[in-house]
C-alpha cells in the first residue's frame, strides 16, 4: 500500500464544459486502523463497496466530505455501529466492504462530481444538484 501517494482530482474547463480527471485510491478493505493510518484529513469524495455473494465488488454508497475530512467520515460511514441508515448498516454488517477516495479541494467541484457520478453510478437515486457553473460535466475515470 502506498501511504505517501495523494489521490487528487484534476479538472479542465473548455467552452463552458468541465472535464474532471479523478485519481481514485485503490479499493482498500474497511478497517478502522487502516483508515486512520492511511486516509488524509482532507476534503474530497469517497465510495463504499461491498463484495456480493457472486464475488463481485459493488458500489453502494458515495459521499462528499468537507468538514472533518475523508479520514473521519470514511471511518464513520463504514462503521455499522455509527450508521443510522438501516439498509447501509445491514450491508456493512453482512458483507466484506471496501472504500476508495479522491481529494477534491473545492466544494463546488465536489458538487459537480457527485452530480455526474450519481447520474451514472447510482441512477436509482435522486442526483444532488450540480453547481450550475458548466453546461456539461464530463468525468474521465
Q: Which domains does the chain have, with CATH numbers?
A: 10-139 (3.40.1440.10)
For the segment 107-132, the average pLDDT, to the nearest whole number, is 89
Q: Is the dihedral of CA 23, 135, 70, 90 positive or negative?
A: negative
- Residue 123 pLDDT: 76
Nearest to 44 by CA among 2, 117, 106: 106
Q: Is the dihedral of CA 124, 64, 16, 24 positive or negative?
A: negative
User: 138: which strand partners?
Assistant: 19
The pTM of the full predicted model, rounded to 2 decimals, is 0.90
Whole-angstrom distance, CA of residue 34 vs CA of residue 98: 11
Percent with pLDDT over 70 in the chain: 97
Residue 136 in this model has a pLDDT that exceeds 60: yes
107 grid coordinates:
466544494
For the segment 67-86, the average pLDDT, to the nearest whole number, is 94
Residue 1 in this model has a pLDDT that exceeds 90: no
Amino acid at each position: 500500500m502506498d501511504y505517501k501517494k495523494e489521490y487528487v482530482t484534476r479538472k479542465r474547463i473548455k467552452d463552458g464544459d468541465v472535464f474532471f480527471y479523478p485519481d481514485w485510491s485503490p479499493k482498500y478493505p474497511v478497517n478502522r486502523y487502516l483508515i486512520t493510518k492511511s486516509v488524509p484529513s482532507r476534503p474530497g469524495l469517497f465510495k463504499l463497496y461491498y463484495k456480493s455473494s457472486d464475488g463481485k465488488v459493488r458500489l453502494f454508497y458515495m459521499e462528499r466530505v468537507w468538514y472533518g475530512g475523508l479520514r473521519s467520515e470514511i471511518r464513520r460511514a463504514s462503521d455499522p455501529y455509527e450508521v443510522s441508515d438501516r439498509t447501509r448498516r445491514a450491508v456493512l454488517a453482512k458483507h466484506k466492504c471496501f472504500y476508495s477516495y479522491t481529494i477534491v479541494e473545492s466544494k463546488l467541484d465536489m458538487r459537480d462530481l457527485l452530480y455526474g457520478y450519481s447520474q451514472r453510478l447510482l441512477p436509482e437515486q435522486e442526483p444532488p444538484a450540480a453547481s450550475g457553473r458548466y453546461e456539461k460535466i464530463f468525468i474521465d475515470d
